[in-house]
Amino acid sequence: MTFTSRHVAIVLAIVTVLTSCRTIYYGAMEKIGFEKRDLLVRAVKHAKAKQKEAGGEYRDALQQLQAVYGRSGSNLEKAYDKLNVEYLACDAATKIVKHRIDEMDRVASDLFKEWQKEIGIMSDASLAGSSQAKLTETKARFAELSSALHNSYNAMPPVLDKLRDHTLYLKHNLNAEALGALRGKADAIQGDIQALLERMNRAIAEADAFVKAMN
């Protein structure tokens, strides 16, 4: 697709509208006592909560996978139904995690821009320097948190794809032979889910540490 000046104008218009909406949102929240700092802490807590919820969904999927491997051929249809429910729940949870992380990053970016701008109008060099040091420290701490959450999220889609493949294979082959083929790959996906859960726990710990430092 070739981008024209019209396309650029449309994109700029969309960005302007979105920026305006966020400005209105921040203004409304400030009127009821929520500064950007408070909104960032809240966004981090939301991202952490959704990571925990997603971890629970993947843990349930792992348990259902393990249950599938223990079933006989006559029970495979029920096993598929339950596994499909868990797959859909994991898919939804993964999308929500991505949304919450993106929202957290946007609020942080807006906060840091405002902070830097305010430092620029301070007349006391000593106070400005102290504030700049605090900003640098907070940005570094947030970068670690954001990296941990993004790394955790990035590990989800590959695991989700494997879970989808197992679910679809079981759907297409509701018989004992299908179960035997799945058992052969069971260890790999179970290991992937366990590793994902450990990564998510580390990201949650980073979120806890960041919120504690901001309070």
What per-residue confidence (pLDDT) applies to 192?
84
Residue 76's pLDDT band, with cuts at 50, 70 and 90, is: confident
Please check the confidence at residue 13 and state whether its pLDDT lies above 80: no
pLDDT digits over 39-61, tens only?
A: 888 889 989 998 999 999 999 98
What per-residue confidence (pLDDT) applies to 132?
95
What per-residue confidence (pLDDT) applies to 147?
93
For residues 43 and 31, give the distance between their C-alpha atoms in angstroms, rounded to a whole number.
18
For residues 45 and 103, give the distance between their C-alpha atoms in angstroms, rounded to a whole number.
11
Per-position DSSP letters for 97-163, written without gaps between them: HHHHHHHHHHHHHHHHHHHHHHHHT---HHHHHHHHHHHHHHHHHHHHHHHHHHHHHHTHHHHHHHH
What per-residue confidence (pLDDT) applies to 144?
92
Lowest mean per-residue pLDDT among 20-29, 56-65, 148-157: 20-29
What per-residue confidence (pLDDT) applies to 29?
63
What per-residue confidence (pLDDT) applies to 179?
63
Residue 74's pLDDT band, with cuts at 50, 70 and 90, is: low
For residues 130 and 142, give the distance between their C-alpha atoms in angstroms, rounded to a whole number.
18
What per-residue confidence (pLDDT) applies to 180?
65
Tokens describing residue 82: 């339950």
Of 20 and 21, the one with more pLDDT: 21
Non-local CB neighbours of 162 within 8 Å, separated by 6+ positions? 188, 189, 192
What per-residue confidence (pLDDT) applies to 168?
86
Please check the confidence at residue 108 and state whether its pLDDT lies above 80: yes
**Averaged pLDDT for residues 192-209:** 88
What per-residue confidence (pLDDT) applies to 70?
65
For residues 107 and 95, give the distance between their C-alpha atoms in angstroms, rounded to a whole number.
19
What per-residue confidence (pLDDT) applies to 128?
94
**Is the pTM of the predicted complex or chain greater than 0.85?**
no
Of 192 and 12, the one with more pLDDT: 192
Of 192 and 23, the one with more pLDDT: 192
CA 172 to chain CA mean position, Å: 31
What per-residue confidence (pLDDT) applies to 18?
45
pLDDT digits over 157-189, tens only?
A: 999 998 998 888 878 876 666 666 666 666 677
